[in-house]
Structure 1
């Protein structure tokens, strides 16, 4: 949340769940403002926790771990770091898989005359897109979250898409004080309910463990999916208990989202390109605010690079086949290594 500060960056787990639970005082004192917290709010929360519990005294910053060897005689880990040796009984490698950005090696990228940004290393200073032709490569979560805000500011936005992704609306809103009070009155019960969930969250909209999509008629399937879509968020995948078990059941939810895309995007050709052709849930489900609606704007174009890939980056744009798409700012929404 320090580096991932691109426009629209926010968590897709609800705020009351995406929080620490080791301190009841912390749970009670912190006030989340939105259903899905933005990157700045999450960063404020993390800094608050670090300050409140004086955690920085136990953290060595700007330090590289060079080696870690287990000493069987001493039964301890001997860790060599750039700040000196450390001996530890337990060694936890909490290095994660979403830290090193994936930097594509497009020919000519170094010669691009405009500004190059990566969603995983966004600058701390505000980026002004007004009057700019912007190109964003990628159609995953960071692109889906940032593109609508960039499109609202830029002269033109070109989205270079190789693989269409499923995305569901967030329907984000200010947190209801009544809901917040209800949770805070018995946070332990709320946490316990989430621990019973396979994902560790989502107990307020639990998955349907009783009914399969193939066990009900079309009308009931539509009603259940409509309810989940209207609420927003990742709960769509829990609409029926067989969506991730049987291809026929999965296609029920997949077709539902494709229908929503066609109903939202006015240009049929663009809508067809935005429709994923694989099972829903086998890749990360994205959560958006106005992503599909964005393609109805006159200043947004979708460039399909699935069959004709990006050949090179020129000083003035992105070359796809015989066409050079002129851009002033290039955004690499290409994820992590």
Structure 2
């Protein structure tokens, strides 16, 4: 049995950064990756139109100055192929591949004798003092239990498991189920190739255009020169993005000024509309409704058919109550002659079954050659509970979290000694590469502090963190997304415990709390 100081699960952003960090401490490590290459979410999510929703110059790793100096981005929002090339570059430039085992899944982990027995689907077992998981928020696919799904005779594809060789959609009748962040990206690109696209929408989304464009060489040079200044600004932002503050309270200015600021935010694109317009959009219902109505007005301007525009217009839940996507000609796609929108909400015609030749709703049947499921993920906890992880006394992580996840700082959980989670449950939902590197920094420091000893969160510490997480979201409008199945609250998975799964108290505040915890000698952790 091979023995290591640290086994790391996953070779995306998190796993690569963690491997680099434990090497700096002189620890032996092995990364186990299910895919055949590095990349994590960017390896698996190859669907048409897949790209970042955060801008390239802060959606990247910073642990090595050479990574910053030697990589040049081509677009403001890189597509999946470029993101995959970037993470391959990181692995090669930092010489990480030699410690990664590819095409292998961790099936089980059991805590025993002050360490972990890690079982792989190859039949091999590893022994490790510590384990760090880098599984991501959005990893474990959610496939709704549609009656008849297994009878469909056409091609069936999950967006998050899109074939590497691609899918030929020319001349095909394609049905797309789902209009979350993935569907919003995929639908316009699929529509350019397919003969016919039928979009089945349960809940319309607030989509702001990303305003993508090529990166200018002079701009790239300036961003590289200022990278660590930009990183510091991102770490000081509530969502870990290097944005300027908004214009105060939305209702403190007159209507003309409010519309001007919203228009400017729309032109800036993406998350800048949420964060650089006004500071109270997720706090004040009137401010939020003003932003929501501005987006609805833009939908009406863009989409030619009034009935389709109305179906695409979100109502009954606040802007950001669901994770707001960035669009790339999303609304414009519905002006194409080959794209139809079908309302499958409870107020419309819900999906009744998948048939061998297509899909049947409550009031119509649709003949399809290809069915694309953009139906989301068992977010935050799903990838962790999918592994048989057993802590002290044989209790599984799934059993412990059956009423909702409990962690200390989103990184450790009582009863599971020597187990660390990079951006685990109750860690910030924000710009993830920045959050990942701060988590890796804290975990690395905790490992150095432990110096080979058993380290474990106390129950008191994780209960206190759960309380702080609940209190952090209370002043916001984000909990109003439960009725529209937001994964923030676990509300997209039937039977899953409802509750806040991520920290909404500000990434900047979270980073400060982690820094203070490390400076104080890691209170909340026990060593033995």
2:295 paired residue number: 257
Distance 1:104 1:295 in 2: 25
Q: For 1:170-201, what per-residue CA distance to the aligned partner results, in whole angstroms no more than 9, with x for missing partners? A: 11110122221112123221111111111111
1:284 counterpart = 2:323: yes
Matches within 5 A, 1:71-90: 71=113, 76-82=114-120, 83-88=124-129, 90=130
What secondary structure sits across from 1:245 in the alignment? coil
Deviation at 1:147, TM superposition (A): 0.6
Q: For 1:292-316, what per-residue CA distance to the aligned partner results, in whole angstroms no more than 9, with x for missing partners? A: 1111111110000003210011111
1:99 counterpart = 2:136: no
1:67 paired residue number: 109
1:305–1:16 CA distance, 2 compared to 1 (3 A):
same
Deviation at 1:92, TM superposition (A): 2.2
Aligned residues of 1:137 and 1:333 also touching (Cα < 8 A): yes
Greater length-normalized contact order (CA 8 Å, ≥ 6 residues apart): 1
Distance 1:151 1:255 in 2: 27
1:294 paired residue number: 333
What secondary structure sits across from 2:116 in the alignment? strand
Deviation at 1:68, TM superposition (A): 3.1
What secondary structure sits across from 2:57 in the alignment? coil
Distance 1:171 1:130 in 2: 27
1:116 counterpart = 2:156: yes
What secondary structure sits across from 1:221 in the alignment? helix
Distance 1:63 1:169 in 2: 37
Deviation at 1:70, TM superposition (A): 6.0
Deviation at 1:19, TM superposition (A): 0.8
Aligned residues of 1:70 and 1:78 also touching (Cα < 8 A): yes
Aligned residues of 2:303 and 2:332 also touching (Cα < 8 A): yes
1:303 counterpart = 2:338: no
TM-score scaled to structure 1, two decimals? Answer: 0.94
Distance 1:188 1:288 in 2: 29
Q: For 1:72-100, what per-residue CA distance to the aligned partner results, in whole angstroms no more than 9, with x for missing partners? A: xxxx4323323323222x43232233111
Aligned residues of 2:116 and 2:131 also touching (Cα < 8 A): no
1:322 counterpart = 2:359: no
Matches within 5 A, 1:98-177: 98-177=138-217
Between the two proteins, the alignment pairs up a number of residues equal to 329
1:274 paired residue number: 312
What secondary structure sits across from 1:152 in the alignment? helix
Aligned residues of 1:139 and 1:163 also touching (Cα < 8 A): yes
Aligned residues of 1:65 and 1:79 also touching (Cα < 8 A): no
What secondary structure sits across from 1:87 in the alignment? strand
Deviation at 1:135, TM superposition (A): 0.4
Report which of the two has the higher share of helix: 2
Q: For 1:28-57, what per-residue CA distance to the aligned partner results, in whole angstroms no more than 9, with x for missing partners? A: 100110000000000001111111222122
TM-score scaled to structure 2, two decimals? Answer: 0.61
Q: For 1:128-171, what per-residue CA distance to the aligned partner results, in whole angstroms no more than 9, with x for missing partners? A: 11111110001111111011111111111000000001111011
Distance 1:150 1:248 in 2: 37
2:260 paired residue number: 223
Deviation at 1:65, TM superposition (A): 4.5
Distance 2:207 2:287 in 1: 18
What secondary structure sits across from 1:16 in the alignment? helix
What secondary structure sits across from 2:44 in the alignment? coil
Distance 2:214 2:118 in 1: 47
1:182 counterpart = 2:219: no
1:39 counterpart = 2:76: no
1:279–1:315 CA distance, 2 compared to 1 (3 A):
same
Deviation at 1:106, TM superposition (A): 1.2
Distance 2:201 2:146 in 1: 15
1:235 counterpart = 2:235: no
1:213 counterpart = 2:250: yes
Distance 2:75 2:136 in 1: 26
Distance 1:214 1:300 in 2: 38
Q: Which runs of 5+ in 1 are unaligned?
A: none
